[in-house]
Amino acid sequence: MAILPLIIAPDPRLKKKSLPVEQITDDIRELSRHLFDTMYYEKGIGLAAVQVGVHQRILVADVTWRDEDGTPGTQYVIINPEIVENSTELNAYKEGCLSLPEQYADVTRPSSVRVRYIDLNGAQQEETFEGLLATCIQHEIDHLNGIIFVDHASPVKRDMILRKLTKLKKQGYFDAHDHTNCGHDHSHDHHDHEHVHGENCNH
Ligand code: ZN
């Protein structure tokens, strides 16, 4: 189990566009496992590699894991995703992000998307995602393009959130989140908040 340190916004690394994965190597397989470890530990439902400083087009998602016992739900590893179709119907979710801890904003996106991607076996997949999973995957694909969810909010809300995070960073508020190579199993030992899927979900 490896918990990778998360990049907290504002940070120029989160604005950088990620590059396509050229080959599914052991490194990529290992990275996807670390992304899941980090995502579950931080109680998120999605995580893009860029959030741990790896600028490759890979994201993981699981919107159905169980908080009570940490049982994984349906896991997706999505590599080099491309949205090939958007629904005209829209959906608004109060989104959060592991790179913007404890910050939330309503974001409106297509309620379903058809995504072409490469899976961990190197096979091309095409799948339609709906509901929370559709929101989550669009949020993560944004990350691969250097976009964070507050970029979809009003400039006032966006600036307010980023200013707040800058201040908290200066105060060292997020320093405890760095668990690089400490080797300990931190599952469920420092989170006191209840996690409810679909409400204030972190990606
Ligand atoms: Zn995010």
If you measure from the C-alpha of residue 95 to the centroid of ligand 1, how many angstroms do you get, rounded to a whole number?
9
Task: Tell me which of 145 and 196 has the higher pLDDT.
Answer: 145
**Tens-place pLDDT, residues 31-82:** 999 999 999 999 999 999 999 999 999 999 999 998 777 789 999 999 999 9
CA distance 9 to 168: 11
pLDDT attached to residue 38: 96
Single out the catalytic residue among 85, 102, 140, 194: 140
pTM for this structure?
Answer: 0.88
- State both tokens at 62: 């699981």
d(CA 160, CA 40): 28
Q: Strand pairing of 90-97 and 76-86? A: unpaired
Cα distance between residue 158 and residue 122, in whole Å: 37
For CA atoms 129, 54, 57, 154, the dihedral sign is: positive
Q: Give the integer Cα–Cα distance in Å for 79 and 60.
A: 9
CATH no. of 12-173: 3.90.45.10
Residue-range domain boundaries for the chain: 12-173
* Ligand 1 mean position, distance from CA 144 (Å): 10
pLDDT in tens, 110-152: 999 999 999 999 999 999 999 999 999 999 999 999 999 999 9
